[in-house]
Structure 1
Amino acid sequence: MILLISDLHLEQERPDISRAFLHFLHSRAPQAEALYILGDFFEVWVGDDAITPFQRTIAQALRELSDSGTKIYLMHGNRDFMIGKAFCREAGCTLLTDPSLVELAGEQVLLMHGDSLCTQDQAYMRMRRWLRNPLSLFILRNLPLTTRHKLARKLRNESRAQTRMKASDIVDVTLAEVPRIMAAHGVHTLIHGHTHRPATHQLQVNGSPARRIVLGDWDQQGWALQIDGPDWQLAPFPLG
C-alpha cells in the first residue's frame, strides 16, 4: 500500500489538523510501504535553523514512522519551499524534486506540488521563479530570523489577498499545461495538490487516455490517495 497526501498547512494554531495527522501516522501510515507528502506540509517554513518545538514534534513523529519501515518522501510546496536537508535528516524523509517521476503500483507516475501548473497566474509565476532561484534561496536563508518571519508573514498575507481577488481559473492549473508536461515526461498519470480541489480528471495525452489526480487539503477534513495494487482510492476522512 502507498499513501499520498498534501496541503496539510500544519501550524500550531490548528491543533485539530496536527492531531489528525499524528493519528494518521500512528493508525494508517504504518501499514504503508511509502508515504508521499506533496508540498505545503507546513503553513510556513523560514528555515531549518528556525524549527519550533511544534515542528520538531512533527519531525519526531515522522522519524518514528520512518524507523518502523515506511519510506517517507517530501516535496516542497509554495508555503514550505525552504525546508532543507537538516529537517529531512531529523524527520527520516527523502526530499523530492518538483516534478518527480516515480513508479507506483508498476506505473510511471509524475508527482508535483501543482503550483508550477498555474501558468495563467503570471504574477505568481514571476515571484515563484525569483523565490526558487538558488541565489535568492541563499540570501533568504542567511537573513536574520526576525526578518525571515516578517517576510514570510508579508508573503502569506499578500498571497491570501491576491488569491481572493483573482478569478478561479487563474489560480487553478492551466489545462493546456497538464498534457504538455505529462507528454514531456512520458506518463499517463499525474498526481498533484496545491489547488485544494480534490478530484480525478480524465484527459488525453498524445491521443491516449490519461488521468490527473488532485489531492485535497486538510482544512475541513483530511484527504489521502491510497494505492493498493490496481485499486486507487482518493477519499476524505474526518479530522476529529
Structure 2
Amino acid sequence: MSGKTLIEIPQHGAAFFASDLHLSEHTPKTLDAFENWLASVAQDGALVFLLGDLFEVWYGDDYGDRTIERVAQAVQSAQSAGARVFFMHGNRDFLLGESFAESAGLELLPDPEFLMVNHHVVLITHGDQLCTDDRAYQQFRIQSRSEQWQAKLLALPLEQRIEMAKSIRSESKMHKANSALNIMDANRQAVADSFQGKWPDGYYVGKSDVILHGHTHRCAIHPTLDSKAPEKPESTQAFLQKGLRIVLPDWDFDQPEKNRHTGGFVKMLSNGDFSLTLFNRAA
C-alpha cells in the first residue's frame, strides 16, 4: 500500500457496497432487485463497489446470456448517471476478465483494496481469504487464481468449461454440507492480522482501521474483534471507528430463507457516517 493513492469518497457523493448476489438465469427476482437498487443509488459522485459473487458462476468472457446482458446494461446506465461502478472478484466469478469489465463499464479492483474515509483506512475485500480454517478451499483458491491455471482453463472449449464448473460447484456443495459451520466464517486471528497489515497470503498490505467484506453470508457490524454476529441483524446507522468490521449481507429474492433478510447494502459518506440497509425479511 506504500506510495499508493487510496480511493476517496467525493464530498458531495457517497460509496455503496454490496456483494454475494449470485445472479444467474435462476434468480430473476434478485436480478430485478439489483437493477432497481443500482438505478436508485447511481448519481454524480456515487461510487458503487460490488465486492464479489455478483454472478453465481462465470465461465469466461466468451459466454453470454440475458442475465449478463442486463447486468452490463444496468452498469452502463449507472455510469451514464455519473456513478463509478467497481468490481472485485469473488469465489464464484473469479474468471470475469478485462474484456467483459471494459464492455460493461466495470472498474476491476485488486483484493484487497483500500479507501481513505475521514482519516480512517478502510480495507475492502470479498472475504474468502479471511476464512483460513477452510483449508481445502484455500488450496483451491491459490490454484485457481494462478494466471497459468486460468489461461489453461480458458483455452478449453466453452462447453467443457461449463461442465467443469458444474462439477466444481457440486463438489463445493458437498464440501459445505460436510464441514462445520465455523470453518466457513472469517477466522478471528486472520482478521486481527489483517488489521495489522499481514494478509492471509503472507504479504504485508498495510494497516487498516476498518475492514468491510462479504462472502460469509453472516451480515453483522462487529465493533470489536470479539463481538459476535447477531442472530438477526437489523438496519443501522453508525460512525466509522478503529477496529470495526462490517460484513455485508447476501441477496436472495428468489428462494429466501424464512425470516431472513432478502439482501441489503452499506452506504458510506466522506465524513465517516455509514448505514447498513437491510431489505425486508422473507415471509
| TM-score band, normalised by shorter chain | over 0.9
**Is the 8 Å Cα contact of residues 110 and 190 (structure 1) preserved in structure 2?**
yes
Partner SS state of residue 48, structure 1? coil
Identify the match of residue 250 of structure 2 among 207, 217, 232: 217
CA deviation vs aligned residue, 1:50-80 (integer Å, no higher than 9, x gap) = 1223201211110110122101110000000
Aligned to 2:276: 234
Partner SS state of residue 2, structure 1? strand
Q: Find out whether 1:80 has 2:121 as its counterpart.
A: no
CA distance in 1, matches of 2:116, 2:183: 31
Aligned to 2:157: 144
CA distance in 2, matches of 1:29, 1:195: 26
Q: Find out whether 1:49 has 2:45 as its counterpart.
A: no
Q: RMSD across aligned C-alpha pairs, in angstroms? A: 1.9
Task: Report the structure, 1 or 2, having the larger strand content.
Answer: 1
Partner SS state of residue 64, structure 1? helix
Q: 1:80 to 1:239 in 2, by over 3 A?
A: farther
Q: Which amino acid aligns with 1:196?
A: H
- 7-16 or 97-106, which deviates more: 97-106
Unaligned runs of 5+ in 1: none
Partner SS state of residue 212, structure 1? strand
1:31, distance to aligned residue in structure 2 (A): 6.5
Identify the match of residue 209 of structure 2 among 188, 194, 197: 188
CA distance in 2, matches of 1:107, 1:137: 35
Aligned to 2:186: 173
* TM score, norm. by length of structure 2: 0.80
Q: Find out whether 1:203 has 2:224 as its counterpart.
A: yes
Aligned to 1:9: 22
Aligned length: 238
- 54-63 or 76-85, which deviates more: 54-63
Q: Which structure 2 residues correspond to residues 97-108 of structure 1 after superposition, within 5 A?
A: 97-108=110-121
CA distance in 1, matches of 2:272, 2:195: 21
**Percent sequence identity over matched residues?**
36
Q: Which amino acid aligns with 1:236?
A: L
* TM score, norm. by length of structure 1: 0.93
